[in-house]
Structure 1
């Protein structure tokens, strides 16, 4: 058994999900997600988190392709990841995500990647996005109405 690392202040707020507001996205580790030893490459977890966030928004009626067509993008401006335990090829897990807050133009999301039986936590993370006008390359001071309405539904 590996020793548990102490929690850092940057990710202390992230613990195992306990409430019903989490969106769940199932994944299975494929060979291309791993390194030569069959262990998941660290960047694969980030890809799964983005997929979960995009699917969460889609489930609320906000399709990322529509945002792009409107000239809007949601780039990551901050990312904090805590790797608790590595995953191996063939394993299944659930990526849980939720919008934790909107602070001005910053949209904060929490993540927990864990075993299907919720007994093992593999990764916890926080991601901060901002809304950017793709044409001007500048931060939008207001969210597009459809995005704002969907995010409000997420926080209820």
Structure 2
């Protein structure tokens, strides 16, 4: 298979990752640009699968920072938001030297569960490399247990990210 054919192939989303976020408008997404450096790749120059997860985490943290929420402040308040579920679909490979955009948005809060959707796509938006969903859960750092409800400061801050996904 030629590079051109390989880069044009695309897998459909898995049933675990709902396709509705693939059709969302750009205004609802936070965009975080990335460039593939050698340390992001395997020996063949293809992005190692775990790199995408690191980029998603960076995008989420920067999204929060963009609206004035510093994750370190939440931790200082005794609240952590660890990942409890992660679902990814790899559509195409990124290669060393390529640029891409990691798009993220918070899609819903269910009690103490916070769901985020992701797309990693080409800078022109024509090729999708990875789609995914991450679920975070609020943890009380002092007790080491899942909180019964989000702290008001956390919930109020997240309301700024509540987008209508239609």
Q: TM-score range by the shorter chain?
A: over 0.9
- 2:152 pairs with 1:145: yes
Give the equivalent residue in structure 2 for 1:64: 71
Deviations 1:112-135 (A, max 9, x none): 000110011000000000000112
Whole-Å separation in 2 of the counterparts to 1:90 and 1:7: 26
Deviations 1:100-151 (A, max 9, x none): 1011111000000001100110000000000001121111122222221121
- Tell me if the contact between 1:16 and 1:112 (Cα under 8 Å) persists in the aligned partners: no
Gaps of 5+ in 1: none
Whole-Å separation in 1 of the counterparts to 2:143 and 2:18: 36
Give the equivalent residue in structure 2 for 1:130: 137
Give the equivalent residue in structure 2 for 1:74: 81
The alignment covers a number of residue pairs equal to 156
- 2:14 pairs with 1:8: yes
Aligned positions of 1:1-156 closer than 5 A: 1-2=5-6, 3-13=9-19, 14-156=21-163
Whole-Å separation in 2 of the counterparts to 1:148 and 1:45: 27
Whole-Å separation in 2 of the counterparts to 1:28 and 1:52: 13
TM-score by length of 2: 0.88
Using the TM superposition, give the Cα deviation of residue 34 of structure 1 relative to its aligned residue in structure 2, in angstroms: 0.5
Q: Aligned-residue CA RMSD in angstroms? A: 1.4
- Tell me if the contact between 2:12 and 2:91 (Cα under 8 Å) persists in the aligned partners: no
